Amino acid sequence: QKVQVLPQTVLYIADAETFSGHEECHEQKKARKRNSKETAIALEKLLPKRCQVLGLVTPGIVVTPMGSSSNQPQEIEEGEAGFALLFPKIDGVKIHTFHFSKDLKNRVFDESKFAEAGLKNNPDLRVVLLFGYNSWKSGATRFLHQIVNPLNEKSIILAGGQVESFTSLTSENNNAQPGDACGVVGLAFSGPQIQSATVLLDQDVADERTAEAAMQRLKAANIPERNTIGFMFACVGRGYRHYKTKRNMEADAFRKFFPNVPLFGFFGHGEIGCDRIVTGNFVLRECNDIKDDLLHGYTTVMTLIHLGSTK
């Protein structure tokens, strides 16, 4: 007997070539946007109408192939690739999408929008995955700081990075982003049983030994590995170029310490995260009331999200 579980939330990420083709990606921006939107609409038609969908386009992909969580994760820096994570209804867990677009008329972000998005006054908020888009626009970095700084709290894991664009955000019935705007989209995970941990691999992590040392810090969090997902958000300047032509270094290091945790993510244009673990009231590194530096370049952020025990 087959049991089918309908997704409530979907995160899909694909590289630009998958969505638009190599020539359109670099030479025909209008065709690229049109083709991306058409592809996004076609994908969304495959999903339930009430499903929240967040779709991103990035320069490269990190994915664990289908079949088993113990399959070897792959860093795909070139060529077409993509994945979709389908989250069903999970008892005690709420996952929702959000979108903040820079207001071209106002320099100051209205923080009341955080509460509307469930990112403030929410004691069960545990993890926020943030993705900035149009980061090359004037004011984009300042706007990202306005979003990240108020969320920089001990009890919340923040992780993510800068993507090329987003193609879907069906919770707002908005499949297109303003051409002149920059902003932030993301997923928020709330629930008392959620546990999370994140570590930052900085520029000094440049060989197998130091990469594995970072994974040991993540392992030390003792996050349960069953019903857990790994995320890797890396700079386009890392990968095989950073590790002197050795490919898949960081994904391989992750798998060595977490052989049964699937790993997903992307190569992007900037990273969001730091060394931090939230399991109850324990944090890996105390902030001492000083806000963490969460915005980076030429780094990799590794994150674990445990969604609670399965019955």
Give the model's confidence band at 49: pLDDT under 50 very low, under 70 low, under 90 confident, else very high: confident
Give the model's confidence band at 31: pLDDT under 50 very low, under 70 low, under 90 confident, else very high: low
Distance CA(160)–CA(146), nearest Å, equals: 16
Q: What is the mean predicted confidence (pLDDT) over 237-261?
A: 91
Enumerate residues 6+ apart whose C-beta is below 8 A from 185. 54, 56, 97, 98, 99, 100, 131, 133, 166, 169
Distance CA(115)–CA(121), nearest Å, equals: 6
Residues 148 and 294 sit within 8 Å (Cβ to Cβ) = yes
Q: Which whole-number Å values give the CA distances from 71 to 42, 68, 103, 218, in the listed order? A: 28, 6, 43, 20
Residues 160 and 191 sit within 8 Å (Cβ to Cβ) = no
For the segment(s) 195-306, the CATH number from 3.30.360, 3.30.1330, 3.40.1350, 3.30.1450 is 3.30.1330
Question: 172 pLDDT exceeds 70?
Answer: no
pLDDT single digits (tens) 89-106? 999 999 999 999 887 667
Each domain of the chain, given as residue ranges in start order, spans: 195-306
pLDDT at 25: 46
pLDDT at 111: 82
Give the model's confidence band at 16: pLDDT under 50 very low, under 70 low, under 90 confident, else very high: confident
Give the model's confidence band at 173: pLDDT under 50 very low, under 70 low, under 90 confident, else very high: very low
Distance CA(300)–CA(57), nearest Å, equals: 18
pLDDT at 148: 92
| pTM above threshold 0.75 | yes
pLDDT single digits (tens) 175-184? 445 556 789 9
pLDDT single digits (tens) 253-309? 999 999 999 999 999 999 999 888 776 666 665 444 556 789 999 999 999 999 988
Give the model's confidence band at 48: pLDDT under 50 very low, under 70 low, under 90 confident, else very high: confident
Structure tokens at 217: 């810090």
Beta bridge partners, 239, equal none
Quick check: helix, strand or coil at residue 190? strand
Residue 164 burial (CB count, 10 A): 22
pLDDT at 6: 85
Residues 274 and 201 sit within 8 Å (Cβ to Cβ) = no
Q: Are strands 276-278 and 271-272 parallel, antiparallel or unpaired?
A: unpaired
pLDDT single digits (tens) 191-216? 999 999 999 999 999 999 999 999 99
pLDDT at 34: 55
Question: Residue 17: which H helix or E strand, with range?
Answer: helix 16-20
